[in-house]
Amino acid sequence: MIQKFVLRDRVLETESEKRKIILGAYLIIIYFFVDLFFVSINFFNRVGDASSLFVGAIVSIICLLLIRWKYVNTAIILQLIRCNALAFYFSNTESAVLTGSYVYFIPSSLGALAVFGYRERWMGIGFTLLSFILFMTAILQPTNFHPNDRHFYLIINFLIVLVIGILILIFFDRLVNNSEKNILQKNKELMKANAELDRFVYSASHDLRAPLTSLAGLIHLAQRDKADAPTYLALMAERLKVMDNYIKDIVEYSRNTRLEVSFSKIKLRPVIEEVVNTLKYSTDTSKVRIEIKLEDGLKIKTDESRLRVILNNLIGNAFKYQDLSKSNPYLKVQAAIQDNQCFITIEDNGIGIKPEHHIKVFEMFYRANDSAAGSGLGLYIARETADKLKGKISFESAYGLGTTFTVSIPV
């Protein structure tokens, strides 16, 4: 009922916000009933000052309404000031030691820490210090502060209980805060995965059906026109190659998401040379000048299979989008280690990427160039794979002049 009253229909991003509102409301309600209890005692016994307690009860009602109206911090701060003020008022008397009014500083200080939590701990700590200062001002008598005086043990025991309570609250609240951070991070990753899965299913089904539809049409044509069957067969082979590359991209995407990172020490030059030699025969690269510049003995500790995925995609694109009309098309691959990072650059003077595509090239299924067949997954997979290695991919490109991709990986 209390939760329904104070939360109403508001949407809260975290459990910490909800806990703060609920704890704040319960703290206010508890003090409200404490005020009513003592007001009734004072009313029937005709002793004490009931007016201040009655005012406190009115303040509690106002604070509860402020929480309902979404002024949460204002309500909690006002309530804590009122709690400390009343505790100081009743403690600052000669009979305070006998009546125990000073004990209300403990729930005021610990309540502040509990309500504000670890994220707003300085607010909680501030009110805790306020409670202790008011307690010391009301109770401490410096001339009598020695082990033979009752005030000495009163203050020492109060301080010990307060410190223990503070440490326990901070410890548990920090655990809760860390757990919530992990949950929020997992939720964020899950939302991203779900969004990508939706896009993946839609685009994959569309792009896988396209070659199949094309194949069905070519088979029908080949059956009707047997004279041109070799031409149709060549076109079928091309469509099957597109589908094969697409499935390979899907497998790489799946492996990167599922498999744990496996580090090993590798020589970088043989890996790059193998990737380049494999890819240069997949397209017409006879005119492309290939340069590989790095030390022969350069070694890094990384996940070799994931590094190959990154290089396959970036070097493959450099070959795919060459401008063979230029007099000197080239591909340059360089690598060096600096500040515990391995920087690998893949530079070409191909067709480049138009400026309007720069911000989107790493998105799933995004194609910056429609002239070449591709799944639109290559750069997305390369970036996601680099993320798994705690690395980054950046690029510079001028349309018509060429593109340079830079991969940085911790060594």
Alpha helices by DSSP H, listed for 340-392, are: 378-388
Query: Which residue has 């991003």 as its token pair?
Result: 13
348 bridge partner residues: 331, 403
Report the pLDDT value the prediction gives residue 6, as an integer from 0 to 100. Answer: 66
Six token digits for residue 386:
């680099």
Question: Is 252 a residue whose pLDDT tops 80?
Answer: no
Question: Is 283 a residue whose pLDDT tops 80?
Answer: no
CA angle 200, 304, 393 (to 5 degrees): 55
- pTM exceeding 0.75: no
Report the pLDDT value the prediction gives residue 403, as an integer from 0 to 100. Answer: 94
CB 368 within 8 A of CB 395: no
Task: Give the end-to-end CA distance of the chain in Å, rounded to a whole number.
Answer: 57
User: What's the chain's average pLDDT?
Assistant: 80
Listed in order, strand segments (DSSP E) in 141-252 are none
Domain ranges of the chain: 2-139, 262-411
Q: Read off the pLDDT of residues 76-127 as tens digits, 9 standing for 90 and up.
A: 999 999 888 888 888 876 565 567 788 888 888 888 888 887 778 788 888 8
Question: Is 343 a residue whose pLDDT tops 90?
Answer: yes
Closest CA relative to residue 345, chosen from 411, 404, 270, 276: 404
Alpha helices by DSSP H, listed for 117-149, are: 121-139
Give CA–CA dist 213/251, Å, rounded.
Answer: 22
Helix axis angle, 150-224 to 15-45, nearest 10°: 150
Question: Is 71 a residue whose pLDDT tops 80?
Answer: yes
Closest CA relative to residue 169, chosen from 87, 123, 129, 109: 109
Give CA–CA dist 90/96, Å, rounded.
Answer: 7
The alpha carbon of residue 167 and the mean position of all alpha carbons in its chain are separated, in whole angstroms, by 28
Six token digits for residue 67:
């929480």
Confidence of residue 402 (pLDDT cuts 50, 70, 90): very high
Q: Which CATH architecture has domain 262-411?
A: 2-Layer Sandwich (3.30)
Question: Is 371 a residue whose pLDDT tops 60?
Answer: no
The share of the chain scoring above pLDDT 90, in percent, equals: 18
Confidence of residue 393 (pLDDT cuts 50, 70, 90): very high
Give CA–CA dist 140/260, Å, rounded.
Answer: 62
142 bridge partner residues: none
